[in-house]
Amino acid sequence: MKKLVLALFIATGTLAIAQTKQDGRKFNKEEMQQKMQMKEQERMAEMQKELNLNQAQVDKIKNLHEKRKAEMKAEFEKNKGERQAKMERMKARQQQMDSEMKNILSTEQYEKWQASREAKMKERKAMMKEKRANGERRMMQKRQSGTAM
């Protein structure tokens, strides 16, 4: 049961983090919330069936999930400023390295270096996208075969 609850939290968190659809369009906030609610209901129904939960247990688990979501949201908000500051520091370091590289390299070398960096970044993004897609496929296969966490 702990694994099922943990899987629910991880999946919910993953959906909440997602910002764009595969075709690159921004998620509509209401659409995303509806999808998350549907997934939660599906997981709860699956859990109820697999574990043969009574209604009192289902209600307690739902309350536990709501409590956990509120805690996670509060923690997220608490750390928001810290994340933003860290991103600013990373951007500043990147700009500093960029300007130093510009001083070291010739114009042609610098442009070549920039192009190489951009190509590597695109490659990493494509790999991450593929990993996400493969992970989602495996999760669907596990659900269909009945071997969910």
pLDDT band at 99 (very low <50, low <70, confident <90, very high): very high
Higher pLDDT, 147 or 71: 71
Global pTM reads: 0.45
pLDDT the model gives residue 149: 46
Q: Which run of H or of E encompasses 83?
A: helix 55-104
Q: Kindly report the number of other CB atoms within 10 A of residue 46's CB atom.
A: 15
Burial class (CB in 10 A: 0-12, 13-18, 19+), 37: exposed
Contact 47, 61 (CB under 8 A): yes
